[in-house]
Every structure is written in structure tokens, then in C-alpha cells.
Amino acid sequence: MASPLWQTYRLLGSTRISKLIILLLIAMLLLFSMDDGSFRKRIAMSYAGRTQDPGIAEENDLSKERELAKENDLTEGNDLTDEDRLADKNNVAEEKELEHPLACNIPALQTYSQFLSAIKTLETHCNHPKKFGGPPKGKPDARKIICMDERFRIEPENCTVFSFGINRDFSFEDGMGRYGCQVFAYDPTMGVEDHQRSEKVRFIATGISNYNGTKLVGMSKSWSMQKVDRFENLVKAVGMEGRTIDVVKLDVELAEIDFLQDMLFNSRHVLKNIKQIAMEIHSDLYKKDVSQLSSHQVFWPYLNLMRCAGFKLITTRSGGKWREVVWAQEKLW
């Protein structure tokens, strides 16, 4: 015996079009009878979307787009390797470092002995100190001691030196050049134009400061207005932007304060790429005055900020009333 559905089909299906309509209706009935409710929800949502306010419809569409974008972001995040995630974290950390001042607790300078301790006390050890410059070809105060320990990786034919304050004595710069380093030597007071001194040593007649322009520079009784520039600009000018710098030498008659101020407050992203800084501190040690206007008070915050930036004194020696120090940044180079 034929089913009721089949009998209805035979009675009503007198034409092909009628048969198609009936088949569609039967299919819909079957779907509704077997559906768990999701199909009916979709139809209801579609109908609501056609009848609701256009503004609400747009909000719903935007919401769906946001959800889809979020899912895509999560999927992309799952595809990242551990190295990618570490690089992202490092980039965020560097951005924060550039955005915020250097966190540093600077105690008050109260005594002369406190200042002496800050420039005489070694904070890390060097097993292989090497002297560059000075006698027999140069003056004693041109000699600098660089730590050549393996951890600093100052390798011949793969090292870079920036030297400020030549005063016609190239013994340090020539020595670093013979070792195999590329040397950029700066001094605006010699009356000499920019030139290539040797294969490894390039001379540039510009002084170091915390701005780009001109400044009264010199030593003793000889002072004149000369061209100066920021360290970051000078690094960019010779194509060393973003690259590691093995040694920076400063013998610049108090302009080291300009260098420290600029690097610690404006160019920490450059400072972090420097392995060692050999510096003559021009704070008169024959004077024990630590009053507010003394040179010791001027240097004091920068000595502390250098330590907070990750540098430690690795060598220190007397230079008469000045002090010769080398700051080293100990990290994986």
C-alpha cells in the first residue's frame, strides 16, 4: 500500500512544475523533522537581518568581522616560533626602554672619599688588559688600556673604534688600526680637514657634544668655535647605525659630560651597542670640594647612571689630577 505522502504527490502533481514545488516542500518538511534546531536558527537570523534596523545590522557585521580577525590573530600567533615570540618580547622591551627614563637610585654625594670610591673601585676583573698608544711614539696620557678578554670578542679585522680627542697624537688610533680595527678619529681643533690617515684610520674634524652645531672647544688657553655633533649622528654618518662598537675613547676636556648626558638620556639604544668606553674624567681630584657647584657634583649622577645602564669599571688609573677609567658592558656579545 502506498504511503500518504506518495498518494498526495500523485493527486497534486499534475504538472512538472507542481511536482518540483511538492518535492521542495517535502524536502523542507524532512529537514525540519530531522534538524536539531540550528537550521531553524539560521533561517530566523537571516529573516531578522532583513527586517532589523540597518544600523544594528552594520554593528552585527562589524562584530562578526572583529571575531573573525581575532580568530585569525590567534591562528597566526599559534604559527609563531619560540624565536619569533622572543624577538617580539625583545622589541617590546626595547621600545619601553626608549620610552621611559632610566630607573636609577642616585645617592647624594656628601664626601670627597665617596666620589673617589666611585671612580677608583673596580667592579669587574680583566684577565688580558692591553695597552694601546702612548710611548715611545706618543705621549703618556695618550695610552689607553683596553680589556681584551675573550668575553668581549674584540677580534682583529672585525672591530670598530670611535676615538674623540686626538691633539695631534695618533698613537692610540694607529695602534688600534694595526691591531686590525676600523678606527674613526675625531678632533676639530687641529686645523686639519677630514682625510683617510691610513687603511684603517679615518680622521674627521668634528667634536663630540650633545647637539649638532658649533661650540667653544679647546684646552688650556687655546679655545675656539668649532663644529660639533652628537655621537648618534656621527655613527650614522659613517654607516655604523645599529652595529656593535667595540671601543669608544674620550679625552675631550669636559665634553665627556655632553657625551654621557646625550647617551644616557637620548641614545640608550646606541649606548647598549658599545662594549667598552675609555674615558678621562676631568674632575679636578686635587680639589676636595663637593659643594653644589663643584665638578664632582656635576659628574656624580652620570657615574651612577652608567652603572644603572649596565656598565662597570674594569680598569682605572691615575692621570695626575684627572682619572683614566674604562667602562665595560658585560653581556653576551
Q: Clarify whether residues 185 and 293 are in a common domain.
A: yes
Q: Clarify whether residues 56 and 187 are in a common domain.
A: no
DSSP for 120-159, please give it: H---S--SSEEEES-TTTS-GGG-EEEE--GGG--BTTBE
Question: Is 36 part of any domain?
Answer: yes
Question: What is the rounded distance in angstroms from the CA atom of residue 198 to the CA atom of residue 175?
Answer: 12
Question: What is the rounded distance in angstroms from the CA atom of residue 274 to the CA atom of residue 185?
Answer: 16
Residue 22 belongs to domain spanning: 4-79
Q: Clarify whether residues 35 and 123 are in a common domain.
A: no
Q: Which of the residue ranges 103-107, 276-280, 312-316 would you say has the lowest mean pLDDT?
A: 103-107
Please give the grid coordinates belonging to residue 181.
680595527
Question: Is 89 part of any domain?
Answer: no
Question: Which amino acid belongs to residue 9?
Answer: Y
Residue 198's φ and ψ, nearest 5 degrees, are -155, -175
Question: What is the rounded distance in angstroms from the CA atom of residue 194 to the CA atom of residue 166?
Answer: 13
Pick the more confident residue, 19 or 296: 296
| pLDDT at site 99 | 46
Q: Clarify whether residues 281 and 322 are in a common domain.
A: yes
Question: What is the rounded distance in angstroms from the CA atom of residue 278 to the CA atom of residue 328?
Answer: 9
Q: Clarify whether residues 134 and 174 are in a common domain.
A: yes
Q: Clarify whether residues 73 and 170 are in a common domain.
A: no
Question: What is the rounded distance in angstroms from the CA atom of residue 231 to the CA atom of residue 289?
Answer: 31
Q: Clarify whether residues 177 and 71 are in a common domain.
A: no
Overall number of domains in the chain: 2
Question: Is 93 part of any domain?
Answer: no
Helix (H, G, I), strand (E, B) or coil at 204: strand
**Structural domain ending residue among the three candidates 29, 62, 79:** 79
* pLDDT surpasses 80 at 111: yes
Question: Is 95 part of any domain?
Answer: no
**Structural domain ending residue among the three candidates 62, 79, 96:** 79
**Structural domain ending residue among the three candidates 59, 79, 99:** 79
Q: Which of 28-42, 63-77, 184-198 has the highest mean pLDDT?
A: 184-198
- Helices assigned H by DSSP within 80-218: 82-99, 112-120, 171-179
Q: Clarify whether residues 34 and 128 are in a common domain.
A: no
Give me the residue label for grid cell 646625550. Answer: 262
- Could you read off the pLDDT of 195-239 as tens digits, one per residue? 999 999 999 999 999 999 999 997 777 889 999 999 999 999 999
DSSP for 311-329, please give it: EEEEEEEEETTEEEEEEEE
Q: Clarify whether residues 214 and 263 are in a common domain.
A: yes
Q: Which of the residue ranges 57-71, 271-285, 294-308 would you say has the lowest mean pLDDT?
A: 57-71
Q: What CATH number is associated with residue 274?
A: 3.40.50.150
Question: Is 298 part of any domain?
Answer: yes
Cβ atoms within 10 Å of 189's Cβ, excluding its own? 20
| pLDDT at site 92 | 47
Q: Clarify whether residues 149 and 194 are in a common domain.
A: yes
Question: Is 40 part of any domain?
Answer: yes
Question: What is the rounded distance in angstroms from the CA atom of residue 212 to the CA atom of residue 233?
Answer: 8
Query: From residue 139, how far is each of 66, 267, 297, 323 by CA, in Å?
Result: 70, 32, 30, 16
Please give the grid coordinates belonging to residue 113.
672619599
Give me the residue label for grid cell 688610533. Answer: 173
Whether 260 contacts 282, CB under 8 Å: no
| pLDDT at site 157 | 94
Question: Is 92 part of any domain?
Answer: no
Please give the grid coordinates belonging to residue 197.
690617515
Question: Is 100 part of any domain?
Answer: no
Q: Clarify whether residues 210 and 312 are in a common domain.
A: yes
Angle made by CA atoms 165, 112, 258, in degrees to the nearest 5: 30
* pLDDT surpasses 50 at 96: no
Q: Clarify whether residues 160 and 53 are in a common domain.
A: no
Q: Which of 76-85, 154-163, 318-327 has the highest mean pLDDT?
A: 154-163
- Could you read off the pLDDT of 137-180 as tens digits, one per residue? 999 999 999 999 999 999 999 999 999 999 999 999 999 999 99
